[in-house]
Structure 1
Amino acid sequence: MISKKAKYALKALKVLAEQYGKGPVLISFIAEKEKIPKKFLEAILLDLRNNGILQSQKGKGGGYLLRIPPEEVKFSKVLRIIDGPIAPTLCVSLYFYGKCEDCVDEVSCSLRLVMEKWRDANLAVLDQTTLKDLLTAQHPGLI
C-alpha cells in the first residue's frame, strides 16, 4: 500500500499537470482543491522540488510548477521519492538494495524469487504510468 503522503503527492502532481504550461500554482490552491493539509503539502512539494520534479517561484505570482512535462513523470519515481523502495524486500530493490539479515544464500532463496516477481509486476505498471495518464484516465476520481 502506498502511504497517505504518496497519495497526496500524486494528487498534487495531478493538479500541477493540469496547469502545466500556465505558470506557477499556489500551494493553497492545490491544498484546497485536493483537500490536503497545507503544512503537509508544503513538505511533500519540497521533497518533489529537491528531487527535480518541481520548481518553485517566490514572490507575487509565485508557486510551484512541473520542471518536466507530465508525460515524463513516472509514478515509480514519485513513489520512490516519497515512500522509498518499491520492492517488497530490500534484497530485490533496484535502488535501495540491502542484504536480508537472516538469509544464508540469496542465489538459492526461493522467497527472493517470489519477491522479484512481485517487484517486476508492480514496476511494469508504475514505470509505464505517468502524470499524463492521470489527465487522460477514463475513470473520474482515479485518485
Structure 2
Amino acid sequence: MSIYPLTIFYDGDCPVCAVEINMLRRRCTDGSLRFEDIRAAHFDSAALNVSIDTLDARIHAQRADGVMIEGPEVFALAYRAVGLDMLARLITWPPLAPLTHWLYSRFARHRHRLGRCVGPLLAWRARRQRARNLAMCSEHCAPPPPQRGEEQP
C-alpha cells in the first residue's frame, strides 16, 4: 500500500487554501506531494471519476495506490510528508479527530466567504514574507558569479 506521492486537489481560487498549499510546496523537497488546482483550465475531474462539485466541497487527494481520501486525512498525510508529524498526530488523535472533522467541514463550507474577508490580509502577509525572505537572502547569499563575457558590477 503506497501512499506517496500524494496528489492534492485544491481550489486555487481560495486565498486561504492557497496559503496552505504554498506552505506545503515550500516544505516539500522530495516530490512526495503533487498539487492539482481544480480551477486550472487543463484540469479534468472526469479522469478521476469524481465531479468538480465534489472536489470543490472538500479537499481531496489521491494516494499513489489510487485510493482517494478527503478532508483532514489529506492534511494529516501532507503534514507527515513535509515533516510536520506532531501536527499530523494532533489532527488524527482520537479525542480531537471528531472536533477536527467538524471544524474542517465548517471551514470548507464557508471558505470562499472567509477568503473574501481575510484574503487581503493573507496577500499582504505573503508579500511581507517574500520581502523578508529576499532581504535575508541578500544578507546571506553571495551574488552569482558573472558569466563568461559579462561585466562585473
TM-score scaled by length of structure 1: 0.31
Greater CA radius of gyration, 1 or 2? 2
Kindly indicate which of the two structures has a greater share of residues assigned to strand: 2
